[in-house]
Every structure is written in C-alpha cells, then in structure tokens.
Chain A
Amino acid sequence: MALELVRDKPIDQSPLAIRGLTVSYGEKPAVFSVDVSFRAGQMTAIVGPNGAGKSTLLKAALGILHPLSGQVTAFGAPLDRVRARIAYVPQRASVDWEFPARVIDVVMMGLYRDLGLLGHIRARHRARAMESLARVGMEGFASRQIGQLSGGQQQRVFLARALVQGADLYLLDEPFAGVDAATERAIIGVLKGLRDDGRTVVAVHHDLATVPAYFDRAFLLNITAIAEGPVAEVMTEANLRAAYGGRLGPAQQAV
C-alpha cells in the first residue's frame, strides 16, 4: 500500500527536474546530491564559482555524463522520451572547429531527429536552417567554413543549430564565454524571444553582473545546491558568500 502511495505522488511537470544528482570524476564529487526544478517559461541562470559543477550538472542532466546517482525528468517524463523537446548548446571550446564542415552543415545537424539516418534534405529543411541562421544574424555565412569564423560567430552558429530543433527547453553551457559585445546582445535577444514565446531557457552563466539584466531566475550552485528562485531573492549577500566564500571580488559584491 505504501508503495502505491509513493508511485501515485504527482510527477514534477517542470521542463527539467533533477533529484538527488551526484556526479564524480574521481574520489571527490563534482556535483553532490542536487535537487532542482527549473521553472517553465522562464530564463534561469546557473551561477557559481569555477569548479562548482555547473557544466557537469547540465551534462549529467542530459545523459552526456553518467551520474553516480540521481533522477532526471523532463516535462514529467523520462529524458529519452522527450529528447525532441530539448535543445542543447555545448561550450564552444568543446569541439574542433577545424572540422571539415560549413556553417549550414552544422545547423543541419539540429535537424537529425527529423531527417533520421537516411532522410533526404528537402527545400523546407534548408529553409528552416536558413531561418535559424537569420535569427542569429548569420544568414550571410551559410557556406563559410566553420574554422574561418570568429568566436562570437561560432557561438551564434551553435545557437542556430539549437533553434532549428524547435525545442521547448533550451540548455546552454556558457553561451557568452569569449564572445564580442554584439554577439552577446544578439544571443540574449534571441533567448528572450524564446522566453516570450513560452519556451524555457536555462544557461550556465559566469558573469554575476549581468544576471539581473539577462535572467528571470537564478540557481546558485557550488557542488551542492545553494538557492533557486527569482534573481533578487537568490543573489543575496548571504547566498553569494555561501557559494563563493572569500573568492568574490568587490565588483561582484556590489551586485
């Protein structure tokens, strides 16, 4: 009877719900027993010091890394059933940009779930890819080799590849790392547009100063979860001290 009760517990309908997630690369855990549910239709920043496990949390939640323990559901279902509704933008530095591919080839990768192994690329697929490129202001670069792009342009191509997936949940790993100011503005514009469309955006972010301007909510993480909620409630001095300890510079403390 007790078992029945546990099973009947209402399932978390959050776009991404993480329960008891622990990941370890060696003896020390990189992420320890994290519980968090990201709010639908909102932009949430995952914030924390270097080595806090921000990227690791994202990768483990997506099944790119294998956690020691923990459960992840997306939209109330196991991850593998709702992959089509999730788009992931990895760190730009995680791939080799000398790979023989053009910008359009990379964006087309986002259509894999529609095309499958042998599906033919049709005009409508190409149009969707071009439309995504236009949304990030890169439509003039479709046949450029990806190695010839600047860091900011590469980041926009990665975002276009996620946009073409037409997902409901966007997970981004440091989308503003090493990009120019124009790209940063373009990316935040696109992300806010997604949010206004009712999509959910979760991004690992390292610049505390821009969190209030860019995001609705923040999730403060340092190996363990510290706080999650609206930016103003989470980014308090006490919480930041708990997350960053003595490592917070004066500029960041001013936030």
Chain B
Amino acid sequence: MGAEFVMLSLTPLVIGVLAALACALPGNFLLLRRQALIGDAISHVVLPGIVVAFLLSGRVAAVPMMLGAGGAALVSVALIEVIRRLGRIEPGAAMGVVFTAMFAGGVLLLEQSAASGVHLDVQHALYGNLESLIWLDGDGWGALLDGQALSGLPPELTRMAVVALAVVLFTAVFWRALVIATFDEGFARTLGLPVRALSLALVAVAAMAAVAAFDAVGSIIVIAMFICPPAAARLMTDRMGGQVAWSVGFATLSAILGYVLAGYGPLWLGYESAVSAAGMIATVSGVILALAALAGPRRRGIAPM
C-alpha cells in the first residue's frame, strides 16, 4: 500500500491541496470585497491566452503560460471597455459577453491545437489531469529522501508549490493592509495605504493562482475553491483570522476527501471505475458550504449593500 500510494496518489493529493489553498486564500478577500466571481472570470478569460502560449512555445511551461494569461486578461479588459462604450450598455453585460466569448474562443483554439501535437484538450481545461500526475520514481516513502527520485516529480507539483508559497507570503506580508483596505477603503486611503495597488496586487495574485491551478487541476476546481471554502468559513467565525484558518481547513479537506471519494467512492458503491477527482473535489467543497449554511454558528442574513 505504501509504495503504491506514494507512486500513484501522493503527488495528485499534494497538488490538489496546494491548488485548493492557493485559490482559497485570496478568495477570502475577494469574497469580502464582493468580487468573488473574479476567480470565475479569470479562469474563463485566460483560456485562449494559455492556448496561444502553448501553440507558440510548443510546451507546457509556467512562463509562457503566465504571459499568455496576462495578455488575454488585458485583451478582455480592452474588449469590455470597447463594447461598453460602443454599445452603451452596462459593464456587467459587457463582461458577460466577453468572458463567455473568450472561453469559447479558447475551446475552439484548443481543438486546433490537437493537430499541433501539444498535450492539451478541452477535457484537460475543464477537469485538469490530476489523476495522471503520478510519480513513477516514487517507489516508497524512502523516495522522498532520494534526490534522483525527487527529480522525477511531475513539474506541475513544483509549479503549484512555488505559486502556493507566493500566495501564502503575499497574504502574510500584506495581511494588515489587505484587511483594512477590504473593510474600509476610504479610511485606508487616509492612512496613506496604496489602496489601488493593493487591490490590483490581490487580483494579480488570484490570477496567478488561477492560472497555475488551471493547468494541474482544471477550471472547475479553480472556480469552486475561490468561493466555497471562504464562503463556508465566513459562516463559522466572526474573525478575519479565524475565517482564513477555516477556509484553509475546508480547502484541504475538500482536496483530500474529494480525491479519495473520486478514486474509491464508486467502487464502494459497486461501480466499476473511478470518477473525475477535480469534479469530486469541487462537489465536496460545495457540500461543505451547504452544511455550513445549514448549521454554521455564524449564519446571519448578510445585509444587502
């Protein structure tokens, strides 16, 4: 069991947990700023940028991916502005049109990319490929201490770990400023805090987490993890630190429980094959939110703005 677990399940589990964490942390602030859907928006908008980056660079690597995603984000901001001005419609409608169109364009591009031999398809974009991120050199727990075996770890793990670490550092270092600017932006400005730069940085960090997680685990998890763990955590506590701690716990629990249930759940129920881990992780996070909404100690009606 040990060797098989390390080889087949350890890395997908760790990647799943890191991806869930990296999205849930900025998700807490986005939720309180009533920008929760920004994660959803990001994961839709960046798809064509990532595909173009794959096509141009011919490989799945972090730098071209981030560049492509950033470019796509800029294009979408420009498109939203153009449609809003030329069409004289409200920003929400312009965003809706641009987000779906960008995602659909990304899907079409992906199908073209199949011909170029780059490893990426529509299914990958939605569900990721968590189950296939195995560690062939990991022939037992001892491999964790074996430099040669460690070098055989899937690159997605390193990438996700670096991004998760960056997200944790950002949250820890700018914690106090982020909390003040999120609660009371006007007051934060009078303290001399760079409010605009902070909110841009928060969105940039969220985007980085979304793009990194997107490659490993697909956009379904990204969307779920930005919203479900922080929203469930808000119902458990009335303190900001407590909320973030609960959200980290819920994100981790969703990733582990979702992975295990996807792999073994169907077998326990007598079905033949496993189901998508990404889909199950997102489902578990949704169930946790539902339970928190039903029984969380701090569920009051949130007053409309």
Contacts and interface: CB of A to CB of B under 8 A. Distances in A.
Interface of A: 59, 62-64, 80, 83, 86-88, 90, 94-102, 105-106, 109, 112-113, 115-118, 145, 147, 161
B183 A101 contact: yes
B236 to A, nearest CB: 10
Contacts of A145: 238
A83 B174 contact: no
B187 A88 contact: yes
A86 B190 contact: yes
A118 B173 contact: yes
A172 to B, nearest CB: 12
A102 B189 contact: no
A102 B239 contact: yes
B279 to A, nearest CB: 30
B191 A59 contact: no
Nearest to B191: A112
Contact of A62 (B174, B183, B190): B190
Interface in B169-194: 173-177, 179-180, 182-187, 189-193
Contact of A100 (B185, B187, B191, B242): B242
B177 A117 contact: yes
A99 B180 CA distance: 11
B88 interface: no
Contacts of A90: 184, 186-187
B298 to A, nearest CB: 8
A157 B96 CA distance: 40
B303 A109 contact: no
Contacts of B184: 90, 94-95, 109
B32 to A, nearest CB: 6
B180 to A, nearest CB: 5
Interface of B: 32, 173-177, 179-180, 182-187, 189-193, 234, 237-240, 242-243, 300, 302-303, 305
Q: Which 4 A-B pairs have the closest CB atoms?
A: A145-B238, A88-B190, A83-B192, A64-B186
Contacts of B185: 64
Contact of A99 (B32, B186, B187, B191): B32
A64 B190 CA distance: 7
Nearest to A94: B186
A111 to B, nearest CB: 10
Contacts of A87: 190
A219 B193 CA distance: 29
Nearest to A173: B186
B192 A98 contact: no
30 contacts: A64-B185, A80-B192, A83-B190, A86-B190, A87-B190, A88-B186, A88-B187, A88-B190, A94-B184, A97-B303, A98-B300, A99-B240, A100-B32, A100-B234, A100-B237, A100-B239, A100-B242, A101-B179, A101-B238, A102-B239, A105-B239, A106-B183, A109-B179, A109-B187, A112-B180, A112-B191, A112-B193, A115-B176, A116-B176, A147-B238
A95 B182 CA distance: 9
A96 B32 CA distance: 9
A51 B174 CA distance: 37
A117 B183 contact: no
B300 A63 contact: no
**Counting chain B CB atoms within 10 Å of each CB, which of A87, A117, A118 scores highest?**
A117
A74 B174 CA distance: 28
A101 B239 contact: yes
Contacts of B187: 88, 90, 109, 161
Given A64-B189, A96-B303, A115-B176, 5 more contacts: A63-B189, A95-B184, A100-B234, A100-B239, A109-B183
A115 B237 CA distance: 25
A138 B234 CA distance: 25
